[in-house]
A = this chain, B = another copy of it.
């Protein structure tokens, strides 16, 4: 029956803080959330789903400005599907690059670590820092 979620429940399920939820709403990342009597927000299931999308985008490093763009397109309806898809594809490529970079630098890191490892057991001296 109670198809709505209280702010507290949304905090729990979305993992966003109350402040962040209000912030996202203010800046238009989230549609204006419905209010119950007393002015309290009541989030619909859709809202929660949308928050899942935001979490995905955010956690993959999409800047807020771009998320807003995406939200705006989504609000505009079915006519923007191609554009939204393009946006996500580009972002996916960005994520790909990020991961590749990370892996590259991580290789250096591991090298450094194994160099340290050679310095530890034996009592020999060394030069590098």
| A positions within 8 Å CB-CB of B | 46, 50, 52-53, 55-57, 59-61, 74, 78, 81-82, 84-85, 88-89, 91-92, 95-96, 98-99, 101-103, 105-106, 108-110, 112-113, 116-117, 119-120, 126, 129
Contact = CB atoms under 8 A, between A and B. Distances in A.
A81 B113 CA distance: 10
Contacts of A81: 116, 119-120
A60 B105 contact: yes
Main secondary structure of the interface of A (DSSP, over half): helix
A46 B117 CA distance: 21
A120 B85 contact: yes
A88 B112 contact: yes
A113 B88 contact: yes
